[in-house]
Structure formats: C-alpha cells, structure tokens
Amino acid sequence: MRFFNTEGPVVAEWHYSIPPLSRVNLGEILDMISNMQYFVLHAPSQTGKTSTLLALRDRLNSESAVRCVYVNIEEGHVAREDTARAMRTVLGALASRARSQLQDDFVHRRMSEYLEEFGPDEVLGQTLVRWSQASHLPLVLLVDKIDTLIGHTLISVLRQLRANYDSRPHNFPLSVVLCGAQDVCDWQIYSGRERTTVRGDSAFNVKAKSLRLGDFSQAEVRALLAEHTAECGQSFQDGVAEHIWALTRGQPWLVNALAYEACFKGAASADQNSAICVEAIDQAKEALILRRVTHLHQLARQFRDDRVRRVIEPLLVGTAPAGDPSEDDLDYVSDLGLIRRDGTVEIANPIYREVILRQLTYSRERYIPHRTEWYVDAAGRLDVAKLLAAFQVYFRENAEHWVEHTEYKEAGPQLLLQAFLHRIVNGVGRVEREFGLGRGRTDLLILWPEGGDWDPTRVSKHVIECKVVRSGQGLDSVVRSGLEQTAAYMDRCGAESAHLVIFDMREGKSWEQRVYRKDPEPGKRPVTVWGL
C-alpha cells in the first residue's frame, strides 16, 4: 500500500505523489539543456528537488539524445576544506552513479590515475573533459547537494566546472545543473586557504538562470489527498485540503507529514471508513511540533544565525528596528524557506511561525513553575484575567534577566508572555498567533475547550493583543490604537473576552508606573488593559 512520503525522494509505486516534472517549467528546462546552458535549481530543504532531478534524468535518458547522470555529492561535506579528500569522494560518487545509471565504467577505471596526475584542483574538470570525449552522446550532469561542500572545496568544484565551459559539448558536459537549498548568487564562501570570502556567482559566472522549485498549489494538495482516497477509500471532509494548505502554504514536506500523521497515525487510522476532519489535521500539527520531528528541528537550528535574526525579529515585534535587514539577508532567509515575500515579508506558513516561537521560548517555558489547574474553575473554564494577573507578577520578577540573555531582545517581552501562555494553555487548549512587519503588534488567540473535549460548539475564545511602548512614543496614543485593534480582532474572531497588554519599555519608568490593570468602562470597548 502506498503512503504519504516524508523521507527522501518520491517513488510513484511506493508513495502518493505529484509528478515531479509537472511542478517545473519543463519546456524551459529542456530548452536550456538543448541550448547547452548551465543553470541552478534551488529550493528549501525537503521541497522535492531530488525527486525533480531524478525524474529529469529519466526523461532525458529515455529520449536517447544525451546521456544524463545524477550525482549527490553531500558526502564531500565531511572532508570540509581537505580538497584532495573531498575530490576523491566526489569522483567516487560520480563513478558509482555512472556505473548504475549509464552502465559506464569510464570514471571508475580512470579515477585513481587522474587523481594522481592532475591533483585536486584540476581532477574533476579533467575527468569530465576526457569522459565527454569518450562518450558517444553529449553528457548532461545533474549535481545535487552542491552547497553542502565547504570553503575552498566548493570554490574548487565551481571553478573546475567553469574553466572548461567553452569546451562543451564534445569536450565537456553539454549542460550542468547545480542543485541546492540556495541560489548560487547567495553563497558567501569563505576559503581558509585563500583567507577570503568568494561569492558563488563569481566562482560560477557561467550560470544562465536560477530556477526556484515552488511549493504545492491548493489544487496539488487536493490531488495528493485524492490519491489516498482512491487507494484506501478514506475520504476527507470538506475544507480539509484548504486547511492543510492554509497551515503549510503548500510546503511539500509539511503537507505530506500532516496527511500521514492524520491518516496513518491518528485516531482515524484504525478505521478507514472514518473521514479525516479538520480537527484531525490540527491534532497532527500539534503532534509533529511536540515531537520536534527532524524537518522542524533542523529548521529551528537556523534561528541563532544573525542573518536570520535580523529578518525574523522585526516580524515578531511588528515594527522594523533601527538597521533594517539587507536585501541579501532577506534573500538568504527566503532561500531557507522561513519567509514569504508576496508583496510583504511574512513567516512562510503558520506551522513555521509556531515552531519559531516555541523554539525561541522553549528554554524559558521549561522553568515556569505555574500549573494549568491553577487557572481553571470548577466548570472547566479558563480564567484569563487570573492568568494575566499572575503573568504581571512573573514578568516583574523575571523579565530583566531573561530579556537580557535572549538573542531576540527586541521581541523579548512578547516572547516571555507567549512562553507563559503556552506553558499554561497548551496541552488542553491552544494559543494561536498572528504577527508581521508593519502591524506594530502581536495578536494572540487562546482557544479553550469547555469540559476538556474539542467540541467546536463548546470552545471559548480569548483575544490577547500585545503592544510595546518605546522611547519617543506616547503611552496614550499606543493605548488608543491598541484598543481599536484589539476590539476589531475580538469582533473578527468572535471572542468572549479581549485583553490589551502594554509593555512600557521607556527608560526611567518604575514598576509602580508600569504595572496596572484597567477594566473596560460601561459603554466603552470591552477590552481590559494590562500594563507592564
């Protein structure tokens, strides 16, 4: 039986899949190859790059006009800047793939001889020269995981591919496709040997074009789910495909992971006659995040990078701090798949947004001593006012130390509140978040199941909106705008209570001035204001 794939390239006979070549402009790619061009295919991790390259290899080899070999050179990463060792690994991978894919022993037979004759900074180029001369058809080379190579090793590979570019197609590959997580122009390669940083597009300036492999469309998400229904008979309720797309924005690994969790691991997995509902997808999302699965864990490791912080922190705060992120920073973080740039800069999808916040607050959350039952009444209802009053005490005691030691200092107050809420609410209820550049605020929505069961008719909603007052801002104007925004958010969500949390970070303000509670006046907006 086939299943939703979350590990490695898709194989149609094993996995539900969208045909890989349908996700790219195949005509454009074939034209570039026939025109003897070298180009780049890039996309974030686990988007489908390898599946696309393998499908392209099979398509080209079936047409008998060229001989195409796919090679993954990730093992060369281990050698780092030991270029001699790395080149032996790269050539070994090429020889193995040529034997298995083309039944061609040329590289295998000559590898040791060429390594000794040419040395590490020429051997790849010279091997490809001689292999191209010996081949009865032009060669096409698909190089996967190119950006896993390190420093001078990567520079050497790029320069060897560039050096013989003018000899194609009879004395060098007709076309070379480099594939990695980032566009070559975004690579900043530090060479320990040369003690300098080289841009990727300088070392490989023969690139005709860079192609970005996109995420699934809504139609492709529906088509993927339909394969499961056709194979197993298990259906999806109305709105499930749209909900999956909304949570993932079509990121292929996330789409497959949610569907696999809901269909093969969740409660519905025991009964194929039970249709998959929206709540099953939400439960699958929570399970993936709590397990810190590899894809999400690898993503989270990026947040300590200063280039990532300069882009992500303004999104968490809602307003750009002094020193906006550069275009290079934005390109880099976009290539990692962490943000979308559809007119405005946003976190790529709601699941990544949740992972970012949980990763940044995880260490603090573990040390929050408060318990959920302290804030739940006898009827099972969450006392949000009691919760925020307790947070005022906690913030006063812990904020200065925690904010000082977090790398995301501008967003520190909001992150501490979210860590506190997550510690108390999640496990029974959920905290949903909205934030983005230019919003000037962070919107939080607590969803709390009355009685502990997720009955959609018995879920209470509580809005919490955060705003920060900084030097040069007036408190009254921030509160006025915050009240309007919170009331509007309350109406949009259909919440039963609304709270505006004001973090006053202006210098010289005492805790007595900063900490207060203002309940709504009769006839005014039904929003409680909490000062911190």
- List pLDDT tens digits, range 39-91: 999 999 899 999 999 999 999 999 989 999 999 999 998 988 899 999 999 99
Tens of pLDDT, residues 506-530 = 888 888 888 899 998 887 778 999 9
Mean pLDDT of all residues belonging to the chain: 86
* Domain annotation covers residue 196: yes
CA proximity to 253, closest of 114, 349, 116: 349
The answer to whether residue 461 scores a pLDDT higher than 70 is yes
* Domain annotation covers residue 81: yes
The answer to whether residue 438 scores a pLDDT higher than 50 is no
Tens of pLDDT, residues 380-389 = 888 999 999 9
Instruction: Take residue 238 and report the two structure tokens written for it.
Output: 């109305």
The answer to whether residue 410 scores a pLDDT higher than 80 is no
Q: What is the pLDDT of residue 190?
A: 60
CA proximity to 124, closest of 93, 151, 101, 150: 93
Which DSSP letter does residue 265 get? I
Distances (CA, A) of 378 to 373, 382, 450, 452, 516: 10, 10, 11, 12, 28
pLDDT-derived band at 426 (thresholds 50, 70, 90) equals: confident
* Domain annotation covers residue 224: yes
Where helices occur in 252-383 by DSSP H, the ranges are 252-260, 278-291, 294-300, 306-317, 327-335, 350-365
* One domain for residues 208 and 249: no
Answer with the one of 165, 195, 212 that is the final residue of a domain: 212
* Domain annotation covers residue 6: no
Distance CA 195, CA 215 (A): 38
More confident residue, 199 or 287: 287
Q: What is the pLDDT of residue 42?
A: 93
* One domain for residues 378 and 467: yes
* One domain for residues 142 and 269: no
Distance CA 283, CA 28 (A): 41
Q: What is the pLDDT of residue 420?
A: 87
* One domain for residues 206 and 122: yes
The answer to whether residue 437 scores a pLDDT higher than 60 is no
CA proximity to 502, closest of 470, 528, 526, 468: 468
Amino acid letter, 392? Q
pTM of the model: 0.85
Q: What is the pLDDT of residue 314?
A: 80
Distance CA 459, CA 453 (A): 9
Q: What is the pLDDT of residue 304?
A: 76
* One domain for residues 230 and 372: no
The answer to whether residue 151 scores a pLDDT higher than 80 is yes
Contact 236, 268 (CB under 8 A): no
Overall number of domains in the chain = 3
Answer with the one of 186, 212, 238 that is the final residue of a domain: 212
Query: pLDDT > 90: what percent of the chain?
Result: 43
* One domain for residues 95 and 143: yes
The domain that holds 177 is classified in CATH as 3.40.50.300
Q: What is the pLDDT of residue 322?
A: 53
Q: What is the pLDDT of residue 214?
A: 92
More confident residue, 361 or 319: 361
pLDDT-derived band at 253 (thresholds 50, 70, 90) equals: very high
Q: What is the pLDDT of residue 416?
A: 86
More confident residue, 328 or 261: 261
* One domain for residues 271 and 385: no
* Domain annotation covers residue 330: no
Residues contacting 343, CB < 8 A, separation 6+: none
Least confident of 9-18, 113-122, 194-203, 363-372: 194-203
The answer to whether residue 188 scores a pLDDT higher than 80 is no
* Domain annotation covers residue 8: no
* One domain for residues 170 and 88: yes
The answer to whether residue 280 scores a pLDDT higher than 50 is yes
* One domain for residues 277 and 365: no
Q: What is the pLDDT of residue 245?
A: 95
* Domain annotation covers residue 323: no
Instruction: Report CA Rg, the chain.
Output: 27
Q: What is the pLDDT of residue 392?
A: 92
* One domain for residues 368 and 346: yes
Tens of pLDDT, residues 286-306 = 888 877 777 777 776 787 788
Contact 183, 335 (CB under 8 A): yes
The answer to whether residue 156 scores a pLDDT higher than 80 is yes
More confident residue, 452 or 283: 283
Answer with the one of 179, 212, 245 that is the final residue of a domain: 212
* Domain annotation covers residue 474: yes
* One domain for residues 180 and 120: yes
Structural domain span for residue 284: 218-291
* One domain for residues 259 and 400: no
Contact 43, 49 (CB under 8 A): yes
